[in-house]
Amino acid sequence: MTSSPQSPDPARPLDASRDAQPMDAGREAQSTEASHQDPPVDASHPAHPTPLVHTAAALRALPRRAGARAVVMTMGALHEGHATLVRAARRRVGPQGQVVVTVFVNPLQFGAGEDLDRYPRTLDADVELAVAAGADAVFAPSVDEVYPGGEPQIRIAAGPMGTLLEGASRPGHFDGVLTVVAKLLHLSAPDLALYGQKDAQQLAVITRMAADLNFPVEIIGVPTVREEDGLALSSRNRYLSVPERSTALALSAALFAARDRLAAEEALRARAASVGHAAQHRSAALAALGEDRAAADAHAVAYAAAGPPHGPSVARAAARAVLADAARLDPPLTLDYLALVDPSDFTEVPDAYEGEAILAVAAKVGTTRLIDNIRLVFGAGRPQATAAHQDGTTTQDSGTTRGSGTTQGPTTDAAAATPAASPAPAPSAAPASTSTPASTAPATPPTTPQGPLGATR
């Protein structure tokens, strides 16, 4: 389990006098994180050594504060993404609240041949990071403490959502995740629990469990933290060699290419809506005059005006082009899946889909398996603020929004796009044929295949 949906505002202090309500599983975490900046912990929060407890009895013995209690669940090997979750929890509960960080490498969610034995254990450093980020307690139980008597005979089943994508690649994984999350929620008894959006499917199944089984806890998603080159922070990144890390950048590059191609597609459709079918006549007239570049632009607008929305197919194609090029690198990227899914149930969305979706990718580089995702919005009602570059992620160092403007491992804000995450070029139109009748819509959309890191191929 990693700390990888959903609260209207994780930065808003929780009113401890009300009952926290689980969020609907179909709704994305509306984690504003205000300006996506992480200020120092409030000076009114008392500075003291964070209690490190190893048993459920010791955790229960911790005095509850007057405010709410938040829990951040991790498997250790903490990094800036986890620190972001802890800081978000501290801001949410305020100085009178309490933040508990759990550190437990859960054997139930590791399948045969996975990296349970080599998963990094760095408890001393984890406690230090948790303290600096604002935690009041770190709960680091043993396997015997969490599962007395051995593996539990009764587990929580993730249902149909748990068999898709990560669940298909790692059978039983989400059953193990939900079982330990349920146990840790019972043991820590929080008012709210924070998870990173990098593990989007995990976040969705936890949210669904809390809602379906009436857990009295609010589930909050915190955006993905990225390094300056675009790679999503993960405890597994340390396994990558320098060449492998270079190849691994294709995951985020593929997602950013899809985002930017979608933005270009929707900008084109907005232009088409303003000019209508007049663009078809303009394209033919410009082509007759030899104005090929202007004619190509008018041709693209005419195509967008005449055809149905096809944003999902455009996004998929842009991402697949980047991943296909990465498969030819040395070392190569081995794709597990690329999926554009409905956040409510993680089923693949059709090409005519409108609304919010998650573009998720999983791949291996060498022996290291990595995942990443980005949230996209298709069709009518798309907020202007999401039309260009923002993907709901944050970078480790800058704390500024990624991109220029519209649009657990854990996660937070994105800096200006780096070469690995540079916006993909807008689609270029194929030259218009002078033989195309003015009254006929262009037959094929313009395309610009993308290279390994979003560059035009």
Residue 14 annotated as binding site: no
Find, among 159, 92, 85, 79, the residue nearest to 126 by Cα: 79
Q: Name the phi and psi angles at 340, rounded to 5.
A: -110, 110
How many C-beta neighbours within 10 Å does residue 294 have? 16
Residue 76 annotated as binding site: yes
Residue 78 annotated as binding site: yes
b/e per residue, 8-23, with b = 16+ CB within 10 A?
eebeeebebeeebebb
- Residue type for position 272: A
Q: How far lies 385's CA from each of 320, 373, 377, in Å?
A: 26, 19, 11
Residue 314 annotated as binding site: no
Q: How many whole angstroms separate alpha carbon 84 and alpha carbon 430?
A: 45
Whether the CB-CB separation of 400 and 36 falls below 8 Å is answered with yes
Residue 382 annotated as binding site: no
Residue 403 annotated as binding site: no
Q: How many whole angstroms separate alpha carbon 161 and alpha carbon 346?
A: 6
Residue 234 annotated as binding site: yes
72: tokens are 């951040």
Residue 233 annotated as binding site: yes
Residue 268 annotated as binding site: no
Assess whether 310 carries a catalytic annotation.
Answer: no
Q: How many whole angstroms separate alpha carbon 358 and alpha carbon 374?
A: 6
Whether the CB-CB separation of 393 and 374 falls below 8 Å is answered with yes
Residue 82 annotated as binding site: yes
425: tokens are 């070029």
Q: Which entry of 82, 173, 299, 389 is annotated as an active-site residue? A: 82
Residue 109 annotated as binding site: yes
Residue 236 annotated as binding site: yes
Angle between helices 173-188 and 200-212 (to 10 degrees): 60
Residue 323 annotated as binding site: no
Residue 162 annotated as binding site: no
Residue 30 annotated as binding site: no
The contacts of residue 290 (CB under 8 Å, 6+ apart) are none
Residue 75 annotated as binding site: yes
SS3 84: helix
Q: How many whole angstroms separate alpha carbon 80 and alpha carbon 210?
A: 27
Residue 80 annotated as binding site: yes
- Residue type for position 169: S
Q: Give binding residues for (R)-pantoate as ranges.
A: 109, 202
Q: Give binding residues for beta-alanine as ranges.
A: 109
Q: Give binding residues as ranges.
A: 75-82, 109, 196-199, 202, 225, 233-236
Catalytic sites, residue numbers: 82
